[in-house]
Amino acid sequence: MKKHLLFLFAFVIITVSAVAEMKTIQILYTSDEHGYIERNGANGGAAEMYQKWLMEDSIKTIPTLILSGGDNNTGPVISAITKGKATVDVMNAMGYQCDVIGNHEIDFGQDAFIEQCKIRNFPTLSANLQVLKSCKIPSKYIQ
C-alpha cells in the first residue's frame, strides 16, 4: 500500500510540475495554397496574408508555428513557370516551419519536387511516399 501511495504521490507531483510549465503557442496554418502568391480576384494571396499576420501583436509576443497542410503548387502562371520554386521562396520568406506533401507537390514531376525540397528552409513531412515506377521508399528523405 505504501508503495502505491508513493507512486501516486510522485505521479501527482510530476503532473503538477508539467501543468505549471505549460506555455501558450500560436499556430498559423494554411493549406491548399495552390501557388497563389499574389491576390487573385476576391482571394488574397500569400503576401497579403503574411502582411496581416505581421500586423497581429500576438505574432511578436507568443511563440508561433507556421504550418502548411500541402498543395502548395499549381494555380497561377508564376507557379507553373517556376515549377513551384516561387511558392517555396515565398513560404521561406514567410517563415514556414513545416509542410506536408499534398498531391500538387508532384505536379511538375519528381525532379522538380526534389529541387523544391532542396531549397525549403523547413522540413516536409509525408507518409506512404514512394518513388515513381520503382515503388521504393525514398530513404534519403526519411529522418
pLDDT tens per residue across span 22-55: 788 889 888 888 888 887 777 778 878 888 888 8
17 pLDDT band, cuts 50/70/90, is low
5 pLDDT band, cuts 50/70/90, is very low
**What does the pLDDT average to over 120-137?**
76
Q: Which of 7-11, 15-19, 108-112 has the lowest mean pLDDT?
A: 7-11
Name the pTM for this structure: 0.75
Q: Which residue has the higher pLDDT, 51 or 96?
A: 96
pLDDT of 138 reads 60
| HSE (side-chain half, CA atoms, 13 Å) at 101 | 18
The contacts of residue 74 (CB under 8 Å, 6+ apart) are 34, 35, 80, 104, 107
What Cα–Cα distance (Å) separates residue 53 from each residue in 47, 66, 98? 10, 10, 17
